[in-house]
Structure 1
Amino acid sequence: MSRVDAFRKLHDNVVPLRLPNAWDAGSARLIESLGAQAVATTSAGFAWALGYADGRQLPTDEVVGEVRRIMRVLKVPLTVDIENGYSDDPASVARFVMQLVDLGIAGINIEDGPDDPALLEAKLAAIRDALAKSGNDLYVNARCDVFLASLVDKPLQVDESIARGKRYVSAGADGLFLPALSEPHDIEKIVAAVRAPLNVMVVPGLADAQTLGRLGVRRLSAGGAITQLVFDQTRTLAKRFLHDGESEPLGNGMAYSEIQGLFANSGG
């Protein structure tokens, strides 16, 4: 079974596929070692780790380079968040996606954000055309930011998400990702209307994975939350060290030998 087939099968579940998003090769390998069935990237974490602000600013060669490093150490399927594909030109987006396909990824997230839904439709169609011509496959998750970015007034968000979701699936998306969707009634209504696996992202007040599964959610992402916690912990420890220079607070980390062991067979 190919990585793409294996990844697609992980969406056929009762309890959602849980993806603690990685931000670089080291975090991806650590997450894999904890038993993750697949690894997803966080575009925000990717950007920050590479020294860029989040928000469609990453050069595509930086993304390709980091994905290459992750694929070198990973055995489970990898899905990559590519924001809007870093271009408004569908053909350019498709060429970029094929560079990632050549590295062996299993899936992508690609978003609409503030763009006209027709633009994401065109990108999805271009990606599917490029895949078909090359004889490749890919799990394409269409991220719709209606809830996250309040693209329409709150009473209209469910219906707008359903309308966009149907358009994106018709254009070639395998799944629908609605970050900031959290209300059980809204989830059930969208699941009933859009015939594609629904992906939600952790937010305060979101139900647990078991409950989300009963509502019809098939994929649960951590998004940038773990990266933000790592940055927060680094800030706290570095600030204390800079202030008083004490070694004791820094002596409780993951053992050097344990971290080394994660990369024992990585070839570098």
Structure 2
Amino acid sequence: MSVPASTVLRMDFHALHAGVQPLVLPNAWDFTTAAALVEAGFDAIGTTSLGVAAAHGVPDGTASTRRETFDLASRLVDLPVPITVDIEAGFGLEPEEIGDYAAQLAELGVAGINIEDELCDPELHERRITEIRSRAPGLFLNARADPYWLGSDPQLPDALERARRYAAAGASGVFVPGISAEDEVRALVGAVDVPVNVLYKPGQSVEELAAMGVRRISTGSLLYRAALNAAVSTAREIRSGGATAADVPGYRALQDYIIGGRRRGSGGLK
């Protein structure tokens, strides 16, 4: 009996967190960007909640892109690599409803999700994790703790306590964006027995983070912001009469990313 392709990709995604090098996870906001990243050789693709929200003209973190996120996921599963979806803090849903939403994503063929705590009571986030785990047991559940991202005075003990609690509740991995000092990252890695995810910080190298024990490096909204900057810069160059970048993909290349990506994905994973 053959194993469903979606199950294989989920297994692959879990395995990518235990490889020789950390998983470098680029975060996309639309199908074509994701397809181009696959073409560039990345082993898995995540979504960025800020990129998805900004592309639809709404602020990030306002629980307003649940439908848009699901629609994007339904397209990204056409790609031949594992897909993990950022669902903010659950889009304002109750834990049981978040579990149902995660199950729907799993049914699409998504390999993982990322859910943030936004500095809520850790017990609430534990309940979210428990509900997701019970309804979508195969997903790689990345639980985000936000003391360093949203806290005005981040404290390592708070981050460690949240990470421990989320791992014990059933998270597949923990994510503490904003943490970067070597001693603090090493303390986080030593505090849990699940893969640790950090947000890429310009100036860091994959090798340095690997030496600290990090297993996953996310780009977050960086690629979206870089693309926005490049678009505005190119428009300004044109207006000023300057030359545009010679390495910008052409029209046919974008068509190939779209058509080729869908062909490789064989119409989605069910």
Does residue 112 of the first structure (1) align with residue 107 of the second (2)?
no
| Residue of structure 1 in register with 2:4 after alignment | none
Cα RMSD after superposing both structures: 2.0
Question: Counterpart amino acid of 2:194?
Answer: A
Residues 52, 68 of structure 2: 8 Å contact kept: no
Runs of 4+ residues deviating >6 angstroms: none
Match of 2:222 among 221, 225, 235: 225
| Residue of structure 1 in register with 2:32 after alignment | 26
Match of 2:51 among 45, 50, 53: 45
1:250 to 1:17, Cα distance in 2 relative to 1, 3 A: closer
| Residue of structure 1 in register with 2:148 after alignment | 147
| Residue of structure 2 in register with 1:63 after alignment | 69
Counterpart Cα distance in 1 of 2:74 and 2:57: 18
Task: Tell me the CA shift for residue 114 of structure 1.
Answer: 2.8
Question: Counterpart amino acid of 1:53?
Answer: P
Counterpart Cα distance in 1 of 2:209 and 2:246: 38
Task: Tell me the CA shift for residue 88 of structure 1.
Answer: 4.3
Counterpart Cα distance in 1 of 2:103 and 2:139: 10
Task: Tell me the CA shift for residue 248 of structure 1.
Answer: 4.8
Task: Tell me the CA shift for residue 50 of structure 1.
Answer: 2.2
**Aligned positions of 1:159-174 closer than 5 A:** 159-174=157-172
Task: Tell me the CA shift for residue 4 of structure 1.
Answer: 0.9
Question: Counterpart amino acid of 2:150?
Answer: A
Residues 63, 88 of structure 2: 8 Å contact kept: no
Match of 1:262 among 257, 265, 270: 257
Deviation sequence 1:191-213 (CA, Å, 0-9, x none): 111111000001245x3111111
**Aligned positions of 1:1-268 closer than 5 A:** 2-72=8-78, 74-132=79-137, 137-150=138-151, 153-154=153-154, 157-205=155-203, 207-241=204-238, 243-244=239-240, 246=241, 248-249=243-244, 253-265=248-260, 266=262
Counterpart Cα distance in 2 of 1:115 and 1:88: 14
Residues 31, 258 of structure 2: 8 Å contact kept: no
Counterpart Cα distance in 2 of 1:163 and 1:250: 47
1:235 to 1:124, Cα distance in 2 relative to 1, 3 A: same
Task: Tell me the CA shift for residue 251 of structure 1.
Answer: 6.6
Residues 60, 86 of structure 1: 8 Å contact kept: yes
Deviation sequence 1:22-67 (CA, Å, 0-9, x none): 1110111000111111111111111111222111333322111111
Counterpart Cα distance in 1 of 2:251 and 2:162: 48
Percent identical pairs in the alignment equals: 35
Tell me the secondary structure at the aligned position of residue 147 of structure 2. coil
1:252 to 1:4, Cα distance in 2 relative to 1, 3 A: closer
* Structure 1 residue ranges without an equivalent (≥5): none
After TM superposition, the score normalised by the length of structure 2 is 0.89
Residues 45, 83 of structure 2: 8 Å contact kept: yes
Question: Counterpart amino acid of 1:187?
Answer: V
Question: Counterpart amino acid of 1:228?
Answer: R
Residues 56, 84 of structure 1: 8 Å contact kept: no
After TM superposition, the score normalised by the length of structure 1 is 0.89
Residues 181, 187 of structure 1: 8 Å contact kept: yes
Tell me the secondary structure at the aligned position of residue 179 of structure 2. coil
* Structure 2 residue ranges without an equivalent (≥5): 1-6
